[in-house]
Amino acid sequence: QVLNWMKERGFAFARVTASARVDSVFSTADVQYVIEPGPVTHFADVVIEGNTSVADRILIRELPFRSGEIYSNKKVSQGQQDIFGLRLFRVALSDIPDQPVDSTVTVRYRVREAKLRFLTGQSGYSREDGVALQGEWRHRNFLGAARNFAVSTIAQTGWLASAGDNVTPRLFNFSVSIGQPYLFSRRLSGSLSPFVQFERDPNLRESGRTLGINRRDVGFVTSVVYQKYTFRPISVGYTFVRSLQYTSQREDVTIEQKDVFNKSVLSLSGTFGKLDNYLSPREGYLFQPYVESAEALLGSAIEYIKLGTEAQAFVPITKRWSIGTRIQIGRLWPLESTLERLDSGDPLFEDRFDPILFYSGGAVDVRGWNTGLLGAKTARQAGEEDTRIVYEAAGGRTRLAINMELKYTLPGYGRKWQLASFADAGQVSSREVTLTDGSSVIVDDGRIRLNNMYYAVGTGVRYRTPVGLVRLDLAFKLNPSTKDLLSPEDAYNGIDNERFSRRFNLHLSIGQTF
């Protein structure tokens, strides 16, 4: 600690030696520390060794110090992390080579380059979404300057899914991205990613097309990221999408309808806090607010402002016991003409707005419910050709969700096996109102009422594998709605056949809950 204190204040060549003299008769010991501080030093030259495809200046500009500044050991270590963070190298080491002891110090970084071009593939599974596949080809140093270039594809196939009350979602995405790690500052980076995406949205009716695809999006995403601390960025983003939806929600429409419109969204998000392990945390907290704005001024056919935040906290109780808590809250305000069209019940704008609303329920949300089905919902036929009866979630303009999970690491298995008990709560602002004639409608005033919260408890097991954390959770609804206990067919046909078994929900998936 003494040596670190000295080196953090400019004494790069400081030395600390210790000696002890023990008196066994009186059971005492004299300990002596000798400090040789050496001169106060300033950064001079930086030597880079082992780089072949990227110039020295590209690496030097990533360092948190400049020639002439007073020496700091933390800045040297931070520079090592920043160079490694370029994802160009398998190894990055820092040290002070042998040199004369004077008022300047030369710092050396030794690196070993990774393969510049590589291909990766990943797979995953969840009970509700089925098998998911992802592939990527990446060039780590595209056109020099440590730029990243990638071609990626994602396929959420719906294969082997057991969506139950939902239409099984599908998504196929192809994108090209380029990332620039240095934008006028070592802390600023930027990216641009054009994409095309085909989706089967459960909230739209079936289109009769291959795999039930009912939406196509073509557009691009660009962002500028400020990152002072690892895993804690602040990002400004812009997304432009030309969207084509193939169907309409109107009951009187029997032929395929096409709705083409633009979405233009400006966003700001950030991550604040600190965790002991960002992949599998046991201690610390995170706070992640965001804001989105889509307006006609930006060329958007739908206008809204969306605010939200997610807060997480983790506390170790003992070596094997830990507890984690998460709170998510969000609010959505449709603007001007969009609000008028929604309030008038325009089915065209309802379709456009469905992906923007908040939903709750699922394997990483309130686990007593299937994905998005917590709260108000309607039973309908999936499509003209698909005669299955399914639930369609209403969503809401406001959302609140709370999760608490107690984990226990099984002894003798390292951290591979864990047991978990959890309690979840959630609500979206839409609700079903019964009219005087006995019929019902779904209304949304954007208000959260704590006495309308839905609750679930459950238990699960986790197993850590090389490809991620496999989770199996069994949840129990404490206060389900009437429709929660009815199958979609019974709700659609007005049959009062509540089933106790529908209080239970089983989730099998890969990845952390939060």
What is the pLDDT, as a whole number, of residue 328? Answer: 98
Q: How far is CA 311 from the centre of its chain?
A: 13
What is the pLDDT, as a whole number, of residue 330? Answer: 97
List, for residues 269-296, the tens digit of each pLDDT value.
999 999 998 878 899 999 999 999 999 8
Q: Please report whether residue 225 resides in a domain.
A: no
**How would DSSP label each residue in 346-398?**
-HHHHHHHGGGSB---STTS-TTS-TT-SS-EEEEES-SS---EEEEE--BSE
Q: Please report whether residue 39 resides in a domain.
A: yes
Q: How far is CA 95 from the centre of its chain?
A: 35
The pTM of the full predicted model, rounded to 2 decimals, is 0.84
Amino acid, res. 73: N
Band (pLDDT 50/70/90 cuts) for residue 187 is very high
List, for residues 350-408, the tens digit of each pLDDT value.
889 999 999 999 999 999 999 899 999 999 887 766 788 999 999 999 999 999 999 99
CATH number, domain of 48, equals 3.10.20.310
What is the pLDDT, as a whole number, of residue 285? Answer: 96
pLDDT above 70 for 251: no
What is the pLDDT, as a whole number, of residue 252? Answer: 47
70 secondary structure, DSSP code:
B
Q: Which long-range contacts (CB under 8 A, 24 or more apart) does 272-280 make?
A: 272/232, 273/232, 273/312, 274/232, 275/231, 275/314, 276/314, 278/230, 278/231, 279/512, 280/415, 280/464, 280/469, 280/512
Q: How far is CA 18 from the centre of its chain?
A: 49
- Residue 8, SS3 per DSSP: coil
pLDDT above 50 for 205: yes
pLDDT above 50 for 188: yes
- Which phi and psi (to 5°) does residue 269 adopt? -145, 160
Taking 3-state DSSP, the helix, strand and coil percentages for the chain, each rounded to the nearest 5, stand at 10, 50, 40
Q: Please report whether residue 270 resides in a domain.
A: no
List, for residues 415-450, the tens digit of each pLDDT value.
789 999 999 999 999 999 888 887 788 999 999 998
- The domain in which residue 87 lies consists of 2-113
Q: How far is CA 115 from the centre of its chain?
A: 27
146 and 181 Cβ atoms separated by less than 8 Å:
yes
Q: Please report whether residue 29 resides in a domain.
A: yes
Q: Please report whether residue 260 resides in a domain.
A: no
- As for how many domains the chain has, the answer is 1
pLDDT above 60 for 463: yes
